[in-house]
Structure 1
Amino acid sequence: MPGVIASDDAGRKRKRDSAQGKSKETKSRKAPKTTNDDDAQSRILLLEEQILQSRENYNNIVELQKIAGQADKKPKTATIAAVALCRVFCRLISGESLVKQAGATEADLQIVQWLKARLADYVGHLTSWIGSPDATKESTALTLLMRIVKEEALNNNKADRAWRHEKSAFVAVVRRLLEETDAEGARQEFIDKFVEEHDDVRFYTFAAVKQILQDVHAGQEEVATNAIDLLVQIEGVPESEDELEDWYGSTPEGQKNQLLSLNAHRKIARQAWLSIFRSKLSQESRKKMLNVATAHILPWFASHIELLTDFLTDSFNHGGAMSLLALSGIFTLMTQKNIDYPDFYTKLYSLLDEDLLHSKHRSRFFRMFETFMTSSHLPAAMVASFIKRLARLSLQAPPGAIVWIVPWTYNMLKSHPPCTFMLHRTYHPAHSIYAEHPKYEDEGMDDPFDMKQKDPMVTGAIDSSLWELETLQSHYHPNVATLAKIMGEQFTKKDYQLEDFLDHTYQTLIDAELGKEVKKPPVVEWEIPKMIVTTEDGGLNVIGQFLQTAIDTM
Structure 2
Amino acid sequence: MPGLIASDDAGRKRKRVSTRGASKEAKSRKAPKPTNDDDPQSKILLLEEQILQSRENYNNIVELQKIVDHADKKPKTATIAAVALCRVFCRLIAGESLVKQAGASEGDSQVVQWLRARLDDYLNRLTSWIGSPDATKESTALTLLMRIVKEEATNSDKGDRAWRHEKSAFVAVVSRLLQETEAEGARQEFVEKFVEEHHDVRFYTFVAVKQILQDVHSGRQEVATNAIDLLIQIEGVPESDDQLEDWYGSTPQGQKNQLLSLTAHRKVARQAWLSIFRSTLSQESRKKMLSVATGHILPWFAGHIELLTDFLTDSFNQGGAMSLLALSGIFKLMTQKNIDYADFYTKLYSLLDEDLLHSKHRSRFFRMFETFMTSSHLPAAMVASFIKRLSRLSLQAPPGAIVWVVPWTYNMLKQHPPCTFMLHRTYHPAHAIYATHPNYEDQGMDDPFDMKQKDPMVTGAIDSSLWELETLQSHYHPNVATLAKIMGEQFTKKDYQLEDFLDHTSQTLIDAELGKEVKKPPVVEWELPKRIVTTEDGGMNDIGKSLQTAIDNM
Give the TM-score category using the shorter length: 0.7 to 0.9
Find the counterpart in structure 2 of residue 6 from structure 1: none
Amino acid in the other structure paired with 1:168:
S
State how 1:126-525 maps to structure 2 within 5 Å: 126-524=126-524
Q: Are 2:46 and 1:50 equivalent residues in the alignment?
A: no
* Partner-residue secondary structure (3-state), 2:503: coil
Verify the 8 A CA contact 1:159 1:250 in the aligned structure 2: no
Give the drift of 1:314. Answer: 1.7
Find the counterpart in structure 2 of residue 100 from structure 1: 100
Take 2:438 and 2:37, find their aligned partners in 1: how far apart are those partners? 102
Take 1:296 and 1:348, find their aligned partners in 2: how far apart are those partners? 24
Find the counterpart in structure 2 of residue 539 from structure 1: none
Take 1:70 and 1:515, find their aligned partners in 2: how far apart are those partners? 62
Amino acid in the other structure paired with 1:470:
E
Q: How many residues align?
A: 496
Take 1:413 and 1:145, find their aligned partners in 2: how far apart are those partners? 62
CA RMSD after TM alignment: 1.9
Verify the 8 A CA contact 1:316 1:327 in the aligned structure 2: yes
Give the drift of 1:38. Answer: 4.9
Take 1:515 and 1:252, find their aligned partners in 2: how far apart are those partners? 66
**Which piece of structure 1 moves more, 496-505 or 168-177?**
496-505
In the superposition, relative to structure 1, how do residues 37 and 301 fare at CA in structure 2: closer, same or farther (>3 Å)?
A: farther
Verify the 8 A CA contact 1:312 1:326 in the aligned structure 2: yes
Give the drift of 1:518. Answer: 3.2
Q: Which TM-score applies when normalising by structure 1? A: 0.86
Structure 1 residues not aligned, in runs of 5+: 1-33, 530-554
Give the drift of 1:513. Answer: 2.1
Give the drift of 1:486. Answer: 1.6
Amino acid in the other structure paired with 2:55:
R
Give the drift of 1:390. Answer: 0.5
**Which piece of structure 1 moves more, 145-154 or 372-381?**
145-154
In the superposition, relative to structure 1, how do residues 114 and 379 fare at CA in structure 2: closer, same or farther (>3 Å)?
A: same
Give the drift of 1:258. Answer: 0.3
* Partner-residue secondary structure (3-state), 2:160: helix
Take 1:527 and 1:161, find their aligned partners in 2: how far apart are those partners? 90
* Partner-residue secondary structure (3-state), 1:457: helix
CA displacement 1:145-168 (0-9 Å, x = unmatched):
111111111121112111000010
- Percent of aligned pairs with the same amino acid: 90
Give the drift of 1:523. Answer: 4.0
Verify the 8 A CA contact 1:203 1:265 in the aligned structure 2: yes
* Partner-residue secondary structure (3-state), 1:446: coil
Take 2:499 and 2:47, find their aligned partners in 1: how far apart are those partners? 69
Take 2:228 and 2:292, find their aligned partners in 1: how far apart are those partners? 10
CA displacement 1:338-359 (0-9 Å, x = unmatched):
1111111111111111111111
In the superposition, relative to structure 1, how do residues 60 and 523 fare at CA in structure 2: closer, same or farther (>3 Å)?
A: closer
Take 1:250 and 1:449, find their aligned partners in 2: how far apart are those partners? 69
Give the drift of 1:41. Answer: 2.6
Find the counterpart in structure 2 of residue 533 from structure 1: none
CA displacement 1:420-473 (0-9 Å, x = unmatched):
111122222222222222222222221111101111111111111111111111
Give the drift of 1:106. Answer: 2.2
Give the drift of 1:528. Answer: 10
Give the drift of 1:35. Answer: 12
Take 2:187 and 2:317, find their aligned partners in 1: how far apart are those partners? 31
Take 2:61 and 2:394, find their aligned partners in 1: how far apart are those partners? 75
Amino acid in the other structure paired with 1:346:
T
Give the drift of 1:409. Answer: 0.8
Take 1:81 and 1:483, find their aligned partners in 2: how far apart are those partners? 71
**Which piece of structure 1 moves more, 209-218 or 104-113?**
104-113
Take 1:140 and 1:306, find their aligned partners in 2: how far apart are those partners? 42
Take 2:196 and 2:440, find their aligned partners in 1: how far apart are those partners? 71
